Amino acid sequence: MPATIVQTNTAPFAEVAIDPVTLDIIENALRNARTEMDTTLVRTAMSPGIREQGDAFPLIADHKGRMIVGQFGSYIGPFLEGFAGTVEEGDMIFLSDPYSVQGAISHSNDWLVLLPVFKDGRLIAYTSMFGHQSDIGGKVAGSMPIDAHSIFEEGVRIPPVKIWNRGVYNEDLIKLVMHQTRTPEWCKADLNALVAACRVAARRVVEMCERFGDDEFVSACENLLARNHRAMKSLIENAIGVEPVSFEDYICDDGLGFGPYKIKCTMWREDGRVILDFAGTDPQSSGSINFLLNENMMRMFFGIYMIMVFDPQILFNDGYYDLIDVRIPDGSLLKPKFPAALSGRTHALGRLFDILGGLLGQKTPEFLCAAGFSSSPHLFYSGMDKTGTWFQLFQIGFGGIPGRPFGDGPDGHSLWPNFTNVPNEFLERYFPLRIERYETVADSGGAGFFRGGNGILMTYKFLEDGEIAIHDDRWFVPPWGVNGGAPGARARKVLRRVDGSEAVVGNKQEGIMVKAGDELDFITWGGAGWGDPLTREPALVAKEVLQGLVTTPGAREYGVVLDGAGAVDAGATEALRAELRAARPEVLPTFNHGAPIADLRRDALRDTGLPAPQQPVWAHLALAAG
């Protein structure tokens, strides 16, 4: 049964007219409150994942639970539908179990708090925030086991419970939860930071109501939702066709020796609404790469992509959700059945944005983005140092962002726009390791009129014996180029032992034991290129060779020849470009996926550098024929 909202004042809100200036002030006040939530969090949290990287997502919703400002879309509706309890003044809800909220959060490491905001006895709004916890127990440090076959192996699962109940703090609950984690100091500080961020935003909402009036605040929220609905309706009518278009992409593997896993989506417009149908997506994995995709979350992903491509000035919120129909087959990779493991869901999550690009660009290729927004590389490193003190690192890496209709892809950027890297100085100060190299990988971004962003090479030197785990993708199926652009380079990981031996290791591999002095080259994928590389300005290519972003041989992918001084040889460049044009089709393909899958498999096997009997299980994938 759904939650019961307990209010001492049940008078309905009156609809009032809001002038444009007041609406603009309230909108920007809400934007600022959301920013203040982020600031409060990063200044209060302790774990590097939240404090340094910002792996947390805020939300301010109206009294009906519809997001007005935020990043991940409203999960309040699914929560209220599944919470068989009361929501009262002084309450705060705490949860982490994805299955309890229909995938509104997508793995158990994400701890969510939800604060109903009351004023004068009436529910006026909600504030909420969730953040990734570095460890919640389970079978491995970091609580994201690649080889998990059920969610029970991935650490503590918290159903919706009240951390505050009518103003009374549930200290025993927190003691119980913190007893499950290997990093209780971090987790408790991070949870308190989530709570503090929600309370700050709640105060700002009450202040707005006191300044403008309760009815005025609620009416302003309705106006913002309606404005978003109108804007999205217009975008949909102009950018989405009535004829179905399909696109598919692949998760390389599941870390258990199986893959690739297909994600397919078909899109069309019908009666003014967009249909996103994931029929044809592969069945759920027995491993942890499943993504329990909440339909509202997919609506938000679609809206964010539409807005950022076509009109970035629009404030995205929940106002347009009725314009999007999301259909996901039960038992698929994107709608696994309980108790499927979920901790490695970021690969599918990131791949959805590449798929959206492939769908939306088919009608309007000029707005098409290449692939590269593809995954979320993770490194885990844990053990006991010489003093007997436990250390544990969880770090999110960066890949190349794809070439876009309006410019090159940034080099070494994160999956999420607001994420930042963990400073190397922080890593070296708080963990027993040294960063030997931190640089972009030249030529890893796909060639194009707009170049794909280069991937990153980060070399870790481990100073203590310990255990590492690697979670990454795009090592087998590369990011695809568009409008003549080339694919990006694939990810690769190389472990060099202190004894002088060297081996390529899997991009999804658990339980790798390292010794003090061992080094890991953590190489991420490059974003793919956009447009014909033979039309890129030769002087710009020469400049990027000088900057180390492109090599001299790599410049030839653009048909650019440099002389001994690094300047463009105009005559040789013109001749090479003519030769390259003559050797390729007259009409360049809209999508460039690179080599056939059989060749990709051969290259992946070759990259292990080992004879077949010694190749790791990830190199023997059960690949489809085409």
- Of 101-105, 342-346, 566-570, give the lowest mean pLDDT range: 101-105
More confident residue, 281 or 235: 281
Q: How confident is the model at residue 594 (pLDDT cuts 50, 70, 90)?
A: confident
List, for residues 138-179, the tens digit of each pLDDT value: 999 999 999 999 999 999 999 999 999 999 999 999 999 999
Query: Which segment of 180-184, 219-223, 506-510 scores lowest on mean pLDDT?
Result: 506-510
What confidence score (pLDDT) does residue 75 get? Answer: 80
The string of pLDDT tens digits covering residues 272-327 is 999 999 999 999 999 999 999 989 889 988 888 777 766 666 777 888 999 999 99
Percentage of the chain surpassing pLDDT 70?
Answer: 93
> What's residue 259's pLDDT?
83
Cα dihedral 378/409/282/492 (nearest 10): -50
Band of pLDDT at residue 73, cut at 50, 70 and 90: low
3, 83 Cβ separation under 8 angstroms: yes
Whole-number Å distance between alpha carbons of 103 and 513 = 34
Distance (Å) of CA 96 to CA 50, 110, 202, 421, 591: 16, 6, 22, 25, 39
Measure CA 479 to chain center: 16
The pLDDT tens digits for 380-397 are 999 999 999 999 999 998
What are the counts of helices (DSSP H) followed by strands (DSSP E) for the chain? 13, 24
Task: Give CA–CA dist 505/247, Å, rounded.
Answer: 31
CA distance linking residue 390 with residue 181, whole number of Å: 12
pLDDT, average across residues 550-576: 96
Contacts of 443 (CB under 8 A, 6+ apart): 454, 489, 526, 550, 551, 553, 554, 557
Q: What residues contact 447, with CB distance under 8 A and at least 6 apart?
A: 485, 486, 529, 533, 536, 554, 557, 558
328-346 pLDDT per residue, tens: 999 999 999 999 999 999 9
Give which of 44, 75, 46 is closest to 58, Cα–Cα: 75
Rounded Cα distance, 366 and 506, in Å: 37
pLDDT at 158: 95
Dihedral of the alpha carbons of 236, 238, 242, 246, in degrees to the nearest 10? -70
Each residue's pLDDT tens digit, 108-124? 999 999 999 999 999 99
Higher pLDDT, 372 or 469: 469
The pLDDT score that the predictor gives to residue 86 is 95
Q: Is the pLDDT of residue 624 over 50?
A: no
The single-letter code of the amino acid at 256 is L
Q: Of 42-51, 52-61, 98-107, 165-174, where does the model show the most confidence? A: 165-174
| Stretch among 543-547, 561-565, 591-595 having the lowest mean pLDDT | 591-595
**Model confidence band, residue 364 (pLDDT cutoffs 50, 70, 90):** confident
Name the pLDDT band for 620 (thresholds 50, 70, 90): very low
Residue 474 to residue 257: CA distance in whole angstroms: 15
Of all residues in the chain, the percent with pLDDT exceeding 90 is 73
- The yes-or-no verdict on residue 271 having pLDDT over 50 is yes
In three state form, how does the secondary structure of 93-113 look? EEECCHHHHCCCCCCCCEEEE
Strand segments, DSSP code E, in 77-170 are 86-87, 92-95, 110-119, 122-132, 161-165, 168-169
- 424 touches 378 (CB < 8 A): no
* Of 187, 160, 1, residue with least CA distance to 92: 160
Write the pLDDT tens digit of every residue in 437-449: 999 999 999 999 9
Cα 108 to Cα 150: distance, rounded to the nearest angstrom: 12
pLDDT value at position 623? 36
Q: Is the pLDDT at 247 greater than 50, yes or no?
A: yes
pLDDT at position 621: 45
Above 80 in pLDDT, residue 572? yes
Bridge partners (DSSP) of residue 467 are 382, 513
Preceding peptide of 533 cis, ω within 30°: no
Q: Work out whether strand 324-327 and strand 273-277 pair parallel, antiparallel, or are unpaired.
A: parallel
Quote the pLDDT of residue 368. Answer: 86
Q: In this predicted structure, what is the pLDDT of residue 525?
A: 94
Alpha-carbon distance of 50 to 420, in angstroms, equals 10
What is the residue whose two structure tokens read 């990043």? 71
The pLDDT value recorded for residue 309 is 67
- Residue 169 CA to residue 165 CA, distance in Å, equals 7
Beta-sheet strand order (sheet of 519-523) = 433-440, 456-462, 519-523, 492-496, 502-505
| Structure confidence at residue 602 as a pLDDT band (50, 70, 90) | low
Q: What was the pLDDT predicted at 311? A: 66
Distances in whole angstroms, Cα of residue 328 to Cα of each of 193, 260, 297: 35, 19, 12
